[in-house]
Amino acid sequence: MSVDLVLCNAKAYIDKQIVDCSFAINEGRILKIGKEATMPKAETKIDLKNLLVLPGLIDVHVHLRDEGKAYKEDFYSGTTAAAAGGITTVLDMPNNNPVTMNVAALKNRMEKAEKKILVNVGFYSEFPKKNSEIEKIIAEGAVAFKLFMAEQVGGLNIDDDAALLEAFGIATKMKVPIAVHAEDKLTLKEAEQKFKRANCNDIDAFLKAHSEGVEAKAVKRVLNLVKQVGTHIHFCHVSTEDGLNAIVDEKKKGVPITCETTPHHLLISTDELKRIGTLALTMPPVREKQHLTALWNGIKNGWIDIVASDHAPHAVEEKKAGTVWDVKVGVPGLETTLPLMLTEVNRGRLSIAEIASLMAERPAEVFKLTNKGYLKEGYNADLTVIDLNKKYRIDASKFHSKAKYSPFDKLAVEGKPVKTFVNGQLVMEDEEIIANPGSGQIIRRE
Ligand code: DOR
Ligand code: ZN
Ligand code: ZN
């Protein structure tokens, strides 16, 4: 028997250890893991030259845009950015134009994506206007729901606890997770208006409006609701000590919640934000150093489940326009997340096992992505190949993303994804995209 591909001389992270092995890959799956001598004949053989191989990394928080926001990013540019960053699966956020919040919009998005994507893509939906649509959206294959609490994006009235509870109940019954952007709208908008009236339009005012308390308030409100229905809530981009502590307290009691943070919330402080300027502006914003320390403790203690990029690309002009209130918030992160995390491995702050857990295993488990997250026989042949010793500087002008800016631009990093395999196909090699659009697959909740 001859298989599609054999990868030999890998140092792969398998069963919590790094082992010397080879992979036989057929029809997009890992057929066999073992010694090179035991591998079947193959059409193609690639020598991985003792590079580190991780399970294909999964980024659960990505804004791929396209459609009405294609000038910022489209399915092709966004998934080439993923492949270049060593990411083999992304989950796409719903704040699109049109908003992904009904069957027609979701279906249309999937159809558009299918021909353009180079990595696997699953889709979030916002909650629809009518709760009766929730089950239909799930039947169409949405992987999870998103609840944006800083303002109403979907059809659900976010000011109404009873409406939230009802929607949570349906998602719970259908066993679909809900990812929450926790910033309290009323507190936030009130503060924003106050600063605008006082003509305070700088980064400081933005930080005060998007205060630590704004996050903690929304987290606590959702936690109160969770206790009533037992919904699996996943907190996106946790940025504050208080927010994290509230989540950890409930986790300790066994409440079924999970959370993520991002490289910018872990690595950039407000001092650095003020130095870099509005290019680094995000929602929630980065915080003072004490919060960065709390987030790192959350990672080291296993309370933070996932590191995701919150890849939120904009046109560079949109990042500089007008007052701070007009600036589009968000930074591209698909091409920087893994190098930044590998740099932390080389600094001794993180282990390879932690990267595998935060960026592959837990993402697959939390979002119930079958046959992903681990290097195992029978699993999808999604693999991220890494040169852990490669030293270079991040260069945003070379991004595959349309958003050619980064708060980490010019930063020296150590560790680089050098090959990305998606469903057994080599998609990226040494920064170059070598597969055709369409090699990624749409992930549908079954
Ligand atoms: O920084 C952000 N950018 N936060 C969000 O919640 C939205 C996102 C975007 O879509 O640009
Ligand atoms: Zn968000
Ligand atoms: Zn986001």
Ligand 1 test: best mutation among 95, 124, 329, 331, most atoms within 8 Å of CB?
A: 329
Residue 374 lies in a domain: no
* 226 band by pLDDT with thresholds 50, 70 and 90: very high
| Distance between CA atoms of residues 325 and 227, nearest Å | 35
Pairing of strands 425-429, 432-433: antiparallel
Average pLDDT over residues 339-353: 98
Ligand 1 test: best mutation among 264, 283, 406, most atoms within 8 Å of CB?
A: 283
Task: Tell me whether residue 278 is exposed, middle or buried, using C-beta atoms within 10 angstroms of its C-beta: 0 to 12, 13 to 18, 19 or more.
Answer: buried
Ligand nearest to the CA of 206: 1
Ligand nearest to the CA of 265: 1
Catalytic residues: 310
pLDDT at 322: 86
Q: Assess whether the C-beta atom of 331 lies below 6 angstroms from ligand 1.
A: no
Residue 179 lies in a domain: yes
pLDDT at 422: 98
Question: Is residue 347 domain-shared with residue 426, that is, in the same domain?
Answer: no
Question: Is residue 353 domain-shared with residue 414, that is, in the same domain?
Answer: no
The residue whose CA has the least distance to atom 6 of ligand 1 is: 283
Q: Assess whether the C-beta atom of 278 lies below 6 angstroms from ligand 1.
A: no
Ligand nearest to the CA of 329: 1
Question: Is residue 87 domain-shared with residue 42, that is, in the same domain?
Answer: no
pLDDT at 274: 98
H or E segment to which residue 32 belongs:
strand 29-34
402-431 pLDDT tens trace: 999 999 999 999 999 999 999 999 999 999
Residue 19 lies in a domain: yes
| Distance between CA atoms of residues 371 and 68, nearest Å | 33
Domain that holds residue 322: 56-366
Query: In percent, how much of the chain has pLDDT > 90?
Result: 98
62-93 pLDDT tens trace: 999 999 999 999 999 999 999 999 999 999 99
Question: Is residue 43 domain-shared with residue 137, that is, in the same domain?
Answer: no
Average pLDDT over residues 348-360: 98
Find out whether the peptide bond into 98 is cis, omega within 30 degrees of 0: yes
Residue 1 has pLDDT above 90, yes or no: no
Question: Is residue 418 domain-shared with residue 361, that is, in the same domain?
Answer: no
Question: Is residue 345 domain-shared with residue 431, that is, in the same domain?
Answer: no
Average pLDDT over residues 87-115: 98
Q: Assess whether the C-beta atom of 282 lies below 6 angstroms from ligand 1.
A: yes
Number of domains in the chain: 2
pLDDT at 27: 98
Question: Is residue 132 domain-shared with residue 116, that is, in the same domain?
Answer: yes
Q: What is the CATH number of the domain that holds 45?
A: 2.30.40.10
Q: Assess whether the C-beta atom of 283 lies below 6 angstroms from ligand 1.
A: yes
Residue 86 lies in a domain: yes
Residue 440 lies in a domain: no
For 253, list phi and psi in degrees, rounded to 5: -85, 0
Q: What is the CATH number of the domain that holds 254?
A: 3.20.20.140
Residue 399 lies in a domain: no
The overall average pLDDT reported for the chain is 98
Residue 390 has pLDDT above 80, yes or no: yes
E strands in 96-203:
120-126, 144-148, 178-181
Whole-number Å distance, alpha carbon 35 to ligand 3 midpoint, is 42
11-69 pLDDT tens trace: 999 999 999 999 999 999 999 999 999 999 999 999 999 999 999 999 999 999 999 99
Hey, what amino acid is at 249? D
**Distance between first and last Cα of the chain:** 32
For 241, list phi and psi in degrees, rounded to 5: -60, -45
Residue 445 lies in a domain: no
Question: Is residue 140 domain-shared with residue 168, that is, in the same domain?
Answer: yes
Question: Is residue 62 domain-shared with residue 163, that is, in the same domain?
Answer: yes
The residue whose CA has the least distance to atom 9 of ligand 1 is: 312
Average pLDDT over residues 226-253: 96
pLDDT at 97: 98
Whole-number Å distance, alpha carbon 95 to ligand 1 midpoint, is 9
pLDDT at 321: 76
Average pLDDT over residues 257-272: 99
| Distance between CA atoms of residues 223 and 113, nearest Å | 34
| Distance between CA atoms of residues 77 and 58, nearest Å | 17
Q: Assess whether the C-beta atom of 95 lies below 6 angstroms from ligand 1.
A: yes
For the four alpha carbons of 156, 187, 204 and 264, in that order, the dihedral sign comes to negative
Question: Is residue 48 domain-shared with residue 153, that is, in the same domain?
Answer: no
Ligand 1 test: best mutation among 95, 158, 402, most atoms within 8 Å of CB?
A: 95
Pairing of strands 383-393, 412-422: antiparallel
163's CB contacts (< 8 A; 6+ apart) are 156, 157
Question: Is residue 346 domain-shared with residue 205, that is, in the same domain?
Answer: yes
| Distance between CA atoms of residues 144 and 59, nearest Å | 14
Whole-number Å distance, alpha carbon 182 to ligand 3 midpoint, is 11
Whole-number Å distance, alpha carbon 308 to ligand 3 midpoint, is 10
pLDDT at 446: 79
Question: Is residue 45 domain-shared with residue 61, that is, in the same domain?
Answer: no
Residue 262 lies in a domain: yes
Average pLDDT over residues 282-294: 98
